[in-house]
């Protein structure tokens, strides 16, 4: 087990009286790839800026490698940031940009030269030393921003939506590139994004945030397959979130039909939220389904068909399937027990506020 | 609209250019390169080499340079402070700085005359406090003061403009890479604001170099700048040929500083006033 590299302890921060982070606690292990994921305004960027030293928390402390760095200015922190929109120095060429941190630290010319070559090779931009910043494409600028950060050999690299300004294809390429870089360098990455696919692809650990709270922290599989609340389920991928009643362990009633599930310990006759991913719904003959409904909508999406199946109570189930059922056909809905995810209903208004109602 | 009709729209501007820029400029050249009888001569231009004219030109260059430098010294920190403010508050401070520009230039300069006079407001105040009186009026220092006061906004605005355009994250990136506040200033903020500084320098230096009002009002009639010499040739001496010839020399200096700007401010960033 790796020791933790950075700990955020009881961090609170508000801007103009508006609470952005509320008593946030987060611990990041050395050599992990952690993604802070959430909608805009959830506090993820503020969290990153507090770690980077660009914001000071109103309360709480930042512990880095066992040292309290809450009040340390950014230039003295042993970590580097890759900024949104790259923030390269436009009055310097590529080599000078990469050398900036090393020059400040007073490294020798030879050392700096070696590092520039090494970093450019690492980001596949060898030979770009004398190019100007303006002559580079967005993707190339982003690679230089990464190179500029990693030559300083930080223990921790912070990335603030670094791929946000790139087009889809480039973004996917860069995702693989980042994973490769992380594995080659052995640096801890903390990555901020609002793109759930990006988070699922790259991270060891995803921290889902909303309205200043951590909603759930876990591996991509845990976050996707076992969302802890309706917000996480809704934010990560598409899902059907319906009201249900937990009759007893491993049996839940949805819209009057009984579904077998694998969850236990919710009590007897307890109202719960039930999450079922669209790809986990099997459409079968009406006689074989637990619920029946009519296909009311059909779109071809390439990999699969997206359908809406309306049950007699009026709920429209979102279904992804490689089998096509025409609009108007009556179908049965079947869900395997392990594909049903049961969640407690929010108990207080406070919890409700961080739910799907926003 | 076809091309011909569109170009017709430029006619008023074309007439304006011809009537108030091209023709006067042409006339300056005509006068400058002829003597009273109308024969061609370079004497008027070469007259700059006479000791009194040379002295006036050197003094003008010196005082303008000092004023420009002082403006930059005041404007850069001010622009830095303005940059750090929230947008609303920053523009209020900027507004306060530009406010005097709404008053008549002559009036402002005459106000300084009253303030600086031997028995003026400042010396009266110093007298009340028991301090020795200042005799700034009619000295080069008074002229520099007048220049800095009048032309400071022309330095603040372009410098502030370029500084304000620098992305916060560029500064954060410098800090992140280990640069302290001073290093960030020297290595990032200063180089990135060069276009604004250059444009500010010309916008202060050129009017300071050609002014005769400030030196008239605050320098008495003792201190002659090249602007005063030219003015006198046109008004009192009524030697238009010599005045035009000296103006041409001054134009050369202005052209030099304009080329300087064109070289450093390719994108016109600093001139976005």
Residues of A in contact with B173 (CB under 8 A): 81, 83, 87-89, 145, 148
Q: What does the pLDDT look like over A42-89, one tens digit per residue?
A: 999 999 999 999 999 999 999 999 999 999 999 999 999 999 888 999
Is residue B236 in a domain? yes
Q: Band the pLDDT of A349: cuts 50, 70, 90.
A: very low
Residues of B in contact with A145 (CB under 8 A): 173
Q: Does A46 touch chain B (CB under 8 A)?
A: no
> CA nearest B173 in A: which residue?
A87
8-state DSSP, B57 = H
- What per-residue confidence (pLDDT) applies to A234? 87
Give the structural domain span for B115: 47-264
A187 to chain B nearest CA, in Å? 16
Least confident of A72-86, A323-337, A338-352, B46-60: A338-352
- Structure-token pair, residue A265: 């310990």
Are B175 and A85 within 8 A, CB to CB?
no
Cα–Cα nearest to A253, from A174, A320, A342: A342
Least confident of A39-48, A194-203, A209-218, B4-13: B4-13
Are B192 and A91 within 8 A, CB to CB?
yes
Q: Does A16 touch chain B (CB under 8 A)?
A: no
Q: What does the pLDDT look like over A251-269, one tens digit per residue?
A: 999 999 999 999 888 889 9
Among partner residues B169, B191, B194, which is closest to A85 by beta-carbon distance?
B169
Helix (H), strand (E) at residue A344: strand A341-344
Least confident of A30-34, A109-113, B4-8: B4-8
Q: What does the pLDDT look like over A16-50, one tens digit per residue?
A: 888 999 999 999 999 999 999 999 889 999 999 99
Q: Mean per-residue pLDDT for A296-322? A: 92
Options 3.40.50.1980, 3.20.20.330, 3.40.50.300, 3.90.1150.10; CATH for A4-225 is 3.40.50.300
A4-225 and A230-353 in the same fold: no
Residues of B in contact with A88 (CB under 8 A): 170, 173
With a cut of 90, say whether residue B264 has pLDDT above it: no
- What per-residue confidence (pLDDT) applies to A119? 93
Is residue B3 in a domain? no
Helix (H), strand (E) at residue B10: none
- Rg (Cα) of chain B, in Å, rounded? 23
- What per-residue confidence (pLDDT) applies to B265? 61
Is residue B269 in a domain? no
Q: Does A17 touch chain B (CB under 8 A)?
A: no
% of chain B exceeding 90 in pLDDT: 50
Q: Half-sphere exposure of residue A196, counting CA atoms within 13 Å on the CB side? A: 16
Are B172 and A104 within 8 A, CB to CB?
no
Are A75 and B170 within 8 A, CB to CB?
no
Q: Does A148 touch chain B (CB under 8 A)?
A: yes
Q: Does A325 touch chain B (CB under 8 A)?
A: no
Among partner residues A85, A87, A104, which is closest to B178 by beta-carbon distance?
A104
Are A100 and B179 within 8 A, CB to CB?
yes
At residue B113, φ and ψ (nearest 5 deg) are: -55, -50
- β-bridge pairing A205-210 and A213-218: antiparallel
Least confident of A71-85, A255-269, A340-354, B38-52: A340-354
- What per-residue confidence (pLDDT) applies to A356? 39
**Comparing A273 with A167, which gets the higher pLDDT?**
A273
Chain B: residues touching A (Cβ < 8 Å): 167, 169-170, 172-180, 183, 187-188, 191-192, 194
- Whether the CB-CB separation of A35 and A58 falls below 8 Å is answered with no
Q: Band the pLDDT of B135: cuts 50, 70, 90.
A: confident
> CA nearest B177 in A: which residue?
A101
For residue B256, the SS3 value is helix
Q: Does A56 touch chain B (CB under 8 A)?
A: no
Is residue B204 in a domain? yes
From residue B253, alpha-carbon distances to A241, B41, B204, B225 in Å are 77, 21, 14, 15
Is residue B95 in a domain? yes
Average pLDDT, chain A: 90
CATH of the domain at B229: 1.10.3720.10
Domain spans of chain A?
Answer: 4-225, 230-353
Are A91 and B191 within 8 A, CB to CB?
yes
**Comparing B271 with A73, which gets the higher pLDDT?**
A73
Residues of B in contact with A97 (CB under 8 A): none
Does residue A311 come out as left (phi exceeding 0), alpha (psi in the -120 to 50 range) or beta?
beta
With a cut of 50, say whether residue B247 has pLDDT above it: yes
- What per-residue confidence (pLDDT) applies to B123? 85
With a cut of 90, say whether residue A345 has pLDDT above it: no
Q: What does the pLDDT look like over B221-235, one tens digit per residue?
A: 788 899 999 998 888
Go through A276-315 and write b for each residue having 16 or more CB atoms within 10 A of its CB, e for each that does not.
bbbbbbbbeeeeebebbbbbeebeeeeebbbbbbebeeeb
- Structure-token pair, residue A236: 């990560």
For residue B207, the SS3 value is helix
- β-bridge pairing A270-276 and A341-344: antiparallel
**Comparing A338 with B119, which gets the higher pLDDT?**
A338
**Comparing A144 with B253, which gets the higher pLDDT?**
A144
Q: Mean per-residue pLDDT for B32-56? A: 90
| Alpha-carbon gap, residue A330 to A315, rounded angstroms | 15
A62 forms beta bridges with A8
Is residue B140 in a domain? yes
Residues of B in contact with A105 (CB under 8 A): 178
- What per-residue confidence (pLDDT) applies to A260? 92
The structural domain count of chain B equals 1
- What per-residue confidence (pLDDT) applies to B130? 85
Among partner residues B169, B177, B194, which is closest to A100 by beta-carbon distance?
B177
- What per-residue confidence (pLDDT) applies to B1? 52
With a cut of 60, say whether residue B92 has pLDDT above it: yes
- Structure-token pair, residue B241: 């040929």
Is residue B16 in a domain? no
Is residue B25 in a domain? no
Residues of B in contact with A149 (CB under 8 A): 176-177
In CATH, A230-353 is 2.40.50.140: yes
- Structure-token pair, residue A70: 């809450």
Are B175 and A54 within 8 A, CB to CB?
yes
């Amino acid at each position: 087990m790796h020791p933790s590299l950075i700990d955020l302890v009881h961090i609170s921060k508000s801007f103009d009286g508006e609470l952005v982070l509320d008593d946030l606690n987060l611990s990041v292990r050395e050599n992990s790839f952690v993604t802070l994921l959430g909608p805009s305004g959830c506090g993820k960027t503020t969290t990153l800026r507090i770690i980077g030293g660009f914001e000071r928390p109103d309360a709480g402390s930042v512990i880095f490698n066992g040292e309290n760095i809450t009040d340390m200015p950014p230039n003295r922190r042993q970590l580097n940031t890759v900024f949104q929109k790259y923030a390269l120095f436009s009055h310097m060429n590529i080599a000078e940009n990469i050398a900036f941190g090393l020059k400040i630290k007073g490294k020798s010319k030879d050392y700096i030269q070696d590092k520039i070559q090494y970093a450019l090779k690492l980001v596949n931009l060898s030979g770009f030393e004398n190019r100007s910043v303006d002559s580079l494409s967005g993707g190339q600028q982003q690679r230089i921003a990464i190179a500029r950060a990693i030559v300083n050999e930080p223990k921790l690299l912070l990335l603030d939506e670094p791929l946000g300004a790139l087009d889809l294809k480039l973004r996917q390429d860069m995702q693989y590139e980042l994973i490769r870089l992380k594995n080659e360098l052995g640096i801890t990455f903390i990555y901020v994004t609002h793109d759930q696919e990006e988070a699922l692809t790259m991270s060891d650990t995803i921290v889902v945030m909303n309205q200043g709270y951590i909603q759930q922290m876990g591996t991509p599989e845990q976050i996707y397959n076992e969302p802890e609340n309706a917000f996480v389920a809704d934010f990560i991928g598409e899902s059907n979130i319906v009201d249900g009643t937990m009759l007893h362990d491993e049996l839940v009633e949805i819209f009057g039909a009984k579904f077998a599930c694998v969850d236990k310990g919710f009590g007897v006759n307890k109202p719960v939220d039930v999450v079922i991913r669209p790809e986990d719904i099997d459409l079968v003959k009406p006689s074989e389904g637990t619920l029946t409904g009519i296909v009311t909508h059909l779109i071809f999406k390439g990999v699969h068909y997206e359908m809406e199946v309306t049950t007699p109570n009026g709920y429209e189930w979102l279904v992804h399937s490689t089998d096509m059922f025409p609009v108007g056909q009556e179908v049965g809905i079947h869900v395997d027990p392990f594909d049903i995810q049961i969640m407690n209903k929010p108990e207080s208004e406070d919890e409700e506020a961080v739910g799907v109602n926003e | 609209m076809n091309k011909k009709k569109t170009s017709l729209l430029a006619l008023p501007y074309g007439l304006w250019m011809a009537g108030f820029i091209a023709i006067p400029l042409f006339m300056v050249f005509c006068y400058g390169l002829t003597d009273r009888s109308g024969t061609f001569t370079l004497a008027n231009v070469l007259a700059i080499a006479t000791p009194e004219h040379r002295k006036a030109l050197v003094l003008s260059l010196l005082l303008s340079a000092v004023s420009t430098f002082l403006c930059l010294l005041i404007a850069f920190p001010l622009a830095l402070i303005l940059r750090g403010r929230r947008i609303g508050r920053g523009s209020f401070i900027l507004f306060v700085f530009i406010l005097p520009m709404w008053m008549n230039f002559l009036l402002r300069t005459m106000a300084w005359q009253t303030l600086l006079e031997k028995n003026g407001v400042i010396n009266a105040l110093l007298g009340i406090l028991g301090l020795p009186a200042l005799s700034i009026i009619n000295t080069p220092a008074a002229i520099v003061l007048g220049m800095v006061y009048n032309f400071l906004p022309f330095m603040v605005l372009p410098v502030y403009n370029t500084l304000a355009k620098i992305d916060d994250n560029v500064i954060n990136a410098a800090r992140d890479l280990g640069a302290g506040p001073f290093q960030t200033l020297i290595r990032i903020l200063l180089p990135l604001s060069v276009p604004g500084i250059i444009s500010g320098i010309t916008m202060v230096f050129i009017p300071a170099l050609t002014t005769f009002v400030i030196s008239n009002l605050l320098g008495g009639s003792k201190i002659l700048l090249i602007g005063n010499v030219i003015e006198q040739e046109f008004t009192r001496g009524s030697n238009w040929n010599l005045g035009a010839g000296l103006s041409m020399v001054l134009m050369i200096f202005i052209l030099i500083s304009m080329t300087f700007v064109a070289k450093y401010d390719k994108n016109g960033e600093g001139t976005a006033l």
